[in-house]
């Protein structure tokens, strides 16, 4: 897989993805890429074009599929970003942004529950 096609995203996002790929030492030659026809909303355009991207990374046995947008190039970028997220979760969880975001949400929910129980009492009674 090569990142030569312009996905239509800001150059900063593309540069950040390339930096993460280099930092995690991901070999893009080991990423197998296939395109299939999509499904769901989108009508004739979705039914006629193969814009669903499926990426397979055999060293970790990961499979990621993306069909969020109508453009194949943008779906390639989004699928690769998702694949890099999954690889980062497995290889380097301490640097993963997704884990940091999940921890932040967990902390926020706990704080909210604490405030609610202080205000309304214990809901388990």
* Closest CA relative to residue 85, chosen from 103, 98, 66, 102: 98
Indicate if 32 and 73 belong to the same structural domain. yes
pLDDT tens-digit series, residues 3-50: 777 788 888 999 999 998 999 899 999 999 999 988 777 777 777 888
* Closest CA relative to residue 75, chosen from 103, 38, 105: 38
CA distances from 118 to 105, 106, 111, 115, 122 (A): 20, 18, 11, 5, 8
pLDDT tens-digit series, residues 49-97: 888 999 999 999 999 999 988 888 999 999 999 999 899 888 887 777 8
pTM, full prediction: 0.75
Indicate if 56 and 78 belong to the same structural domain. yes
Q: Return phi, psi of residue 72, to 5°.
A: -65, -45
Indicate if 64 and 78 belong to the same structural domain. yes
- 125 lies in which domain range? 97-125
**Interatomic CA distance for residues 12 and 17, integer angstroms:** 9
């Amino acid at each position: 897989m090569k990142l030569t096609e312009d996905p239509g995203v800001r150059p900063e996002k593309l540069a950040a993805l390339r930096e993460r790929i280099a930092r995690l030492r991901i070999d893009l030659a080991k990423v197998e890429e296939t395109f299939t026809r999509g499904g769901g909303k989108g009508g004739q355009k979705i039914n006629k074009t193969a814009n669903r991207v499926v990426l397979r990374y055999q060293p970790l046995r990961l499979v990621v599929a993306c069909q969020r947008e109508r453009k194949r190039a943008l779906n390639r970028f989004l699928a690769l970003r998702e694949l890099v997220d999954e690889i980062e979760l497995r290889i380097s969880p301490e640097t993963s942004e997704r884990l940091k975001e999940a921890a932040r949400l967990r902390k926020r929910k706990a704080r909210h529950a604490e405030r609610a129980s202080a205000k309304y009492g214990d809901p388990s009674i």
